[in-house]
Structure 1
Amino acid sequence: MPLKSLEIVGMSCGHCVKAVTMALQDLPGVDVKDVKVGQALIDADDHVVTTAELTAAIEEAGFTLASVRAA
């Protein structure tokens, strides 16, 4: 699975990190490697999870996915 770096806007604390971690862990095809304020590092299977699904999960947690790039 390709490693991806997600830039996430609106995170400011440990609670935010936990909320994003839980949101991403719930998605099939996603292995969360690291989450910190403003950024998440994940392994994601492009055949299982789309960028739109990543965006929706992060938005449901209360944040905005600003960018996705290869890590």
Structure 2
Amino acid sequence: MSEVRYSVPGISCGHCVSAIGGEVRQVPGVTDVTVDIGTKLVTVQGNGLDDAALRAAIDEAGYEIAG
């Protein structure tokens, strides 16, 4: 199992958490997603995680990854 983190400055409320979590959970290999409003970090755990697919899922939810 691996873990990746993304800084997403636009996270500000429960809707953000739900939207990002819902999209990222659909990516194959994802076993857990944590979206933290305080740190503005999205932490994804899973097997064989595809960085491009995870980034696309966050984008699909309407948010941009910093950097």
TM-score range, shorter chain: 0.7 to 0.9
Q: Runs in 1 of length 4+ with deviation above 2 angstroms? A: none
Q: What is the number of residues matched between the two proteins?
A: 65
- How far is the alpha carbon of 1:45 from its aligned partner? 2.4
Contact 2:35 2:42 in 1 (8 A): yes
Structure 1, 32-41 or 13-22: larger mean CA deviation: 32-41
2:20 is matched with: 20
1:64 alignment partner, SS class: coil
1:52 alignment partner, SS class: helix
- How far is the alpha carbon of 1:8 from its aligned partner? 1.3
Specify every segment of 5 or more residues in structure 2 that has no aligned partner in the other structure, as ranges.
none
- How far is the alpha carbon of 1:33 from its aligned partner? 4.1
1:42 is matched with: 44
Distance between the aligned counterparts of 2:18 and 2:51, measured in 1? Answer: 20
Specify every segment of 5 or more residues in structure 1 that has no aligned partner in the other structure, as ranges.
none
Distance between the aligned counterparts of 1:12 and 1:33, measured in 2? Answer: 17
What TM-score do the two structures reach when normalised by structure 1? 0.76
CA RMSD in angstroms, aligned pairs only: 1.6
Distance between the aligned counterparts of 1:6 and 1:51, measured in 2? Answer: 10
